[in-house]
Amino acid sequence: MSGRGEEKPPPWSEEEIAILRSEARDGGPWEEIAARYRVRLRDAGYRRVFTPEALRVKAFKLGIAKGYRSGRLSDGEVERQVRAAGGHLAKKSPEDEAADFRIAALEEIRVLKKENQRLSRDTERLRIVREEFLDAVKATVIALPPPDMERLPNPSKTADEETALLHVSDAQIGAFVDPSLVGNLSEYSYPIFVRRLRHMVERTVAILRHQRTPRRKIDDLVVLLGGDMVEGEAIFPGQAFQIDTPLFTQALSGGRYVAQAIRDLAAQVKRVKVVCVRGNHGRSGKKGDHHVVSNWDDVMYHFIAEWLRDCKNVEVWVSLSPFCLLNIYEWNFLASHGDEFKGWSSIPAYGMRRAFLGYVSMTRMRIDAWFTAHHHQPTSLTVGWGRAYMNGSFPGGSELSITRMQDSGPPTQKLYFIHRRRKVTSEWPIELDDLPMLRADGEGFFTPVTRPRSGKAVWDDEAAQLVAPA
């Protein structure tokens, strides 16, 4: 105490009042408001400290009332506490309200500027740390000695020799798949077979030209005709309704197209070996009714041999047994149609593996690769040191596979490359056609439908019309 008595505290500045207004609007207990207020004053350069009660009384005297939400006091409660403290609430003029809004806006701008400066400092600090880290990594990498690795030998000047093998099977020439009966998921006929055969030849020639380099010599081609080249006529009940070409024409006319395809391929290589095995669709009638060699696949193969007799670089070999073992570059290859084993739930992997091991045990030979077909699923499977390769088909999906097995794949054949020391080095699936895309018609149907009309029923298909008698 001085002789002059107790000194009065200095009056509140406008900035102190503006900070108090801002914190009071944010609400909360007065202890929290006082804590936030002290931090704000310290940041602004003030050293004064106010108790929560002093801030509450000052706020009431200034007419600062907290809102109605989040536990804030109502205007009636504020007025009651202000009067109890000896003060009174004064109604703000529009000028005071505008001033309060301006002060609050300036305060918010100040806080945002401060936060922006902090973020800029953090960003700059992170940039410096990143640059220092990258410089350290570069310096470490430069200081490392080169890896001790054996240099690769220079490529040999002599050409590496390989043989191409084209697996052609399950053409089922003469089969007819009506798209309206299989939900537009597939379509097949004799003209479609001719078109897909031509596409297979074109793609095979393109792959051969692409793979042949000055250091990769591909002079030999093996064409494996793997059975079911014809569709047949009496293999299963109702087959007569699923063909568009009689059996004799399937073998004769279809064979001429296959022979022409082999001629075109023979023009691309020095030597062609055609290896033929029969399938199940070429048999005459039900299984066991006729001799095993009475097979229209065999008839077609002999037609092909006659038509290729004048091709000096083509040899045709027809297997007498249902399977054929041949040797290429000292590798042992097995070829069969694939109807000797079954698939379970449309998956032939287990049967294929079991049959592969059965062939190895039966022949007492090392079989390096097995080329099979019949199941219309282009796939491959490793069995021990060997590998089984399954071919696709020309039709893709059929009425049987789509309606009973819910399976329809792309029409596919396969081209392989065989190396003298590394066996089968690559496998090239050749898709023969574009996949069908279902599109809704004007009525919203994706699959073919018919709308019966009075007096007649119309089957809306280009290939057939069903008209009820009048």
pLDDT < 70: residue spans in the chain: 1-9, 65-93, 96, 100, 152-157, 345-346, 453-470
Q: Would you state the pLDDT for residue 102?
A: 80
Q: What is the pLDDT of residues 204-260, one digit of tens each?
A: 999 999 998 888 899 999 999 999 999 888 888 888 888 888 989 999 999 999 999
Looking at this protein, which amino acid is placed at residue 466?
L
Closest alpha carbon to 27 in 54, 63, 56: 56
> What is the spatial distance between Cα 278 and Cα 287, in angstroms, rounded to a whole number?
14
Q: Would you state the pLDDT for residue 301?
A: 95
> What is the spatial distance between Cα 370 and Cα 332, in angstroms, rounded to a whole number?
9
Q: Would you state the pLDDT for residue 69?
A: 36
In sequence order, what are the residues at sequence separation of 6 or more whose Cβ sits closer than 8 angstroms to the Cβ of residue 282?
A: 227, 228, 229, 230, 232, 295, 296, 297, 298, 299, 300
Identify the H or E element spanning 416: strand 412-419
Q: Is 274 helix (H, G, I), strand (E, B) or coil?
A: strand
Structure tokens at 216: 């990769």
Q: Would you state the pLDDT for residue 79?
A: 58
Taken in order of first residue, the domains within the chain and their CATH numbers are 14-91 (no CATH), 161-431 (3.60.21.10)
- Give CA torsion, residues 174, 177, 178, 182, to 10 deg: 170
Q: Is 84 helix (H, G, I), strand (E, B) or coil?
A: helix
Half-sphere exposure of 415 (CA within 13 A, CB side): 20
> What is the spatial distance between Cα 89 and Cα 92, in angstroms, rounded to a whole number?
9
Structure tokens at 413: 């054949």
Please answer whether residues 410 and 433 qualify as being in contact, where contact means their C-beta atoms are separated by less than 8 angstroms.
Answer: yes
Q: Would you state the pLDDT for residue 67?
A: 38
